[in-house]
Amino acid sequence: MRTKRTQKLLSLLVMICLIPSSLAAMSAEEIIRKTDEMQTFDTAITEGELQITDRFGTKISTFIAWSRGSEESLIEFTSTAERGQKILRTVDSIYLYYPDAQELIRMQGAALRQGMLGSDVSYEDMTGDNDRLSQYEVVLDGEQVIGDRMCYKLSLTATTRSVPYPKETIWIDKEHFIVLKGEYSTKSGRLIKEIDVLETGRFDDLVLATTTRISDTMKADSQTLMIIRELQVNVPIDSRIFSLDELSW
């Protein structure tokens, strides 16, 4: 009997040792790293729209965006009112181009806090890259259900002044590593901005946020929906598209 019990115990220990490491508890750093990796592509082409609502009503602006890695992107607006306006993000700068005036503006200082097209998405929001572990200390605050999805809840405290928000609380979907909810605050803890993912969708083998609500708490009666209609990832993109010389084409 003892021999059989010993064999069963040894078998159980072997099975435990063979459990994949992915099933083990993840640290806060591992969760952030996985999330950043899942949301960063070699290249991507995105088509979508901004639905901007304030006390005057709702305005819809459509766009197409090209990106390379986490530091280069170009957004071109295709809706009638904004057609041809572009926002170029390079490694260290953001530029606006207005075709009617043939005008190029470099965004800096307080101007970065302005809302893009009057939306709740600031130009400053575009400056953060997907390397949060080099910019924040992260703490895992447990797990919580958001909607019908179990999420990791994490608190992030900035270690540099170069980020838009000194404090963040984010809820990350455990299955797909999408930030489903975020609260972004000042150093003193005053809430500045909130995001909530309302819908997700599948693009090939990727599951990503397709409808996200952004609310700037400093603006009364205001919210913006960012809706992704089409997405292509890891496709050829001419690198010249991210240069100032090509911005006026």
Q: pLDDT at position 68, please?
A: 93
How many Cα atoms within 13 Å fall on the side-chain side of residue 224? 24
Considering only residues 115 and 204, tell me which one the structure prediction assigns the higher pLDDT: 115
The answer to whether 77 and 63 have CB atoms below 8 angstroms apart is: yes
| In-domain check, residue 200 | yes
Query: Which range (105-119, 121-135, 208-222) has the least confidence?
Result: 121-135
| In-domain check, residue 171 | yes
- Judged against a pLDDT cut of 60, whether residue 37 lies above it is answered with yes
Closest to 181 in 3D by CA, of 169, 167, 166, 189: 169
| Tens digit of each residue's pLDDT (9 = 90 or more) over 140-156 | 999 999 999 999 999 99
| In-domain check, residue 199 | yes
Closest to 191 in 3D by CA, of 233, 150, 160, 219: 219
Q: pLDDT at position 11, please?
A: 53
Q: How far apart are CA 170 and CA 191, in angstroms?
A: 13
- The single-letter DSSP state of residue 248 is T
Q: pLDDT at position 227, please?
A: 98
Q: pLDDT at position 102, please?
A: 84
| In-domain check, residue 19 | no
Q: What value does the mean pLDDT take over residues 53-75?
A: 94
| In-domain check, residue 9 | no
Q: pLDDT at position 100, please?
A: 87
| In-domain check, residue 7 | no
What CATH number did the domain enclosing 164 receive?
Answer: 2.50.20.10
Query: How many domains, in total, are found in the chain?
Result: 1
From the number of C-beta atoms within 10 Å of its C-beta (0-12, 13-18, 19+), residue 191 rates as middle
**Residue 24's Cα: distance from chain center in Å?**
26
Q: pLDDT at position 124, please?
A: 87
Q: Going by C-beta distance under 8 Å and a sequence separation of 6 or more, which residues neighbour residue 46?
A: 64, 65, 67, 228, 230, 231, 232
Percent of the chain topping pLDDT 70: 88
Query: Token pair 């994949």 is at which residue?
Result: 20
Q: pLDDT at position 129, please?
A: 58
| Tens digit of each residue's pLDDT (9 = 90 or more) over 117-126 | 999 999 988 8
| Tens digit of each residue's pLDDT (9 = 90 or more) over 177-196 | 999 999 999 999 999 999 99
Domain boundaries, position 135: 25-246
